[in-house]
Amino acid sequence: MSKLPQVIGLLALLVSGAASAGDSEDAVQSIEVKGTRTRLVSYKEPYDIAKKVQRATDGRVALGLRLVPSRPGVRVDDIKLWLDGGNESIPVKVSDGGVFVVPVKDEIAAHDGQFAINKQKGDLTARVVIVPAIERHAWTLGMVRKSIADAKSAIDEFTPWYQKPFAMRVNTVSVCTKAAGEPVRITQGGAVVATLQTSDKATNDAGQPVYCQHFKGDEQYDQASVLGIPDDAEVLFL
């Protein structure tokens, strides 16, 4: 696994793909996360990329980062992360698996913002992920199709031509749960027209095993049909 010394490698990470997209560990580039509570990395480049992703997809896709231990014994389930800039210090939600969405905060970016964390220098590396930014109740088959196209367009827009053959691929919107067999109901006009199950093994953005029901956007249901996302499910690009 190659390591880049600072956050300037984020764009390369974006086009090289994420673990959730099925890439091997060796194929995923990483950056060294530097600093303690007073400094992690500059906010500027993550902000710039996150802003472009947001604009290109009308907010339907977001830029995320997965924090990964760079040496044995480092925990990611107790991470505390802040975005500091000017007179603000905003807590950033990090999942138990070390994944967070890069906030788009124009004011902080204008004041030389930086990320801060409760870890030591060299404890972590970071990998880029692309995540859906759709409200759970707003998922329809039409939105599945649109968000897949958005994700592909965003990746293509920020991928240099010479790296396009190696860019991450987004093929599905997947509803995933930790346990197999959770129902995913499709409703139309308030009536259930199909009940599917999370049954296909996959790996989520945090590198954890999950069971998924995949949607490609070409399913034979009305595009206005609503996906019922289980309360304990996560929606991923896979």
Residue 126 shares a structural domain with residue 147: no
The string of pLDDT tens digits covering residues 111-162 is 999 999 998 888 888 888 999 999 999 999 999 999 999 999 878 876 777 8
Count: domains in the chain: 2
Domain that holds residue 101: 3-132
On the 0-12 / 13-18 / 19+ scale of CB atoms within 10 A, 168 is buried
Residue 21 shares a structural domain with residue 119: yes
Residue 193 shares a structural domain with residue 181: yes
Residue 120 shares a structural domain with residue 152: no
Residue 34 shares a structural domain with residue 107: yes
Kindly state the tokens that stand for 93.
């939600």
In three-state secondary structure terms, 23 is: coil
d(CA 169, CA 154): 11
Residue 207: what are its φ and ψ, rounded to 5°? 80, 15
Closest CA to 82 of 94, 96, 74: 94
d(CA 118, CA 94): 12
Residue ranges with strand state E in 147-208: 173-177, 183-188, 191-197, 200-203
pTM: 0.82
Residue 128 shares a structural domain with residue 171: no
The string of pLDDT tens digits covering residues 11-49 is 433 333 333 333 333 333 444 444 455 466 789 989 999
On the 0-12 / 13-18 / 19+ scale of CB atoms within 10 A, 232 is exposed
